[in-house]
Amino acid sequence: EAQVTQNPRYLITVTGKKLTVTCSQNMNHEYMSWYRQDPGLGLRQIYYSMNVEVTDKGDVPEGYKVSRKEKRNFPLILESPSPNQTSLYFCASGRVANTGELFFGEGSRLTVL
Amino acid sequence: DAKTTQPNSMESNEEEPVHLPCNHSTISGTDYIHWYRQLPSQGPEYVIHGLTSNVNNRMASLAIAEDRKSSTLILHRATLRDAAVYYCTRRTGANSKLTFGKGITLSVRP
């Protein structure tokens, strides 16, 4: 089954404690991206990757890091989480061409105390 | 940045057709129009996309105005499982992102 898998689905952590949200896709997609969803602000892109070892900032990259060492994986790293990073996070993947659909994971709800 | 405008909410009766409108008057000529929906506690789900011609798939139909300034997502027979937030959007730019607005909240009455 074609899918994008995120882990963990739910996490409560404390300020400053490094964490990683993993994302894996099994569709051999070149393109992967992270979004965060906040009430009243919709979905905003954090980082994206056009292929292995190719990553770039989206609209709200501050406080986040990513890496793309393998085609299927695109982890989101919060080196020193802060309460304003409490949010619902979605990973997405798709073909590079802008005409194609994106496949989203089920989301990771992160709470930073 | 081109914006899309949608009503905040719509209601429909089960098994009746639903027409969800979207205005995108500043969309560029090469941007595809995408529709996604998001069910409660789930990630966005692709519904349909198109450029100029009307498009059909197993989930819905997409009617695009001739001037491309608006489009309409058509659910031919609404079911209770179609109750969701529907986003009209576009995928464009070097970062290939989808720009999501607030979407339309569709309620389906049994």
* Mean pLDDT, range A39-43, rounded to an integer: 86
B13 exposure class (CB count in 10 Å sphere: 0-12, 13-18, 19+): exposed
What sign does the CA torsion over A107, A110, B3, B4 have?
positive
Question: What's residue B22's pLDDT?
Answer: 94
Q: B8, B105 in Cβ contact below 8 A? A: yes
Interface of A with B (CB under 8 A): 4, 31, 33, 42-43, 45, 48, 50, 56, 58-59, 90, 92, 94, 96, 98-107
A48 exposure class (CB count in 10 Å sphere: 0-12, 13-18, 19+): buried
- Which chain A residues are Cβ-neighbours of B4 within 8 angstroms? none
* Mean pLDDT, range A45-74, rounded to an integer: 95
Flag whether pLDDT at B63 surpasses 90: yes
Flag whether pLDDT at A21 surpasses 60: yes
Question: What's residue A108's pLDDT?
Answer: 98
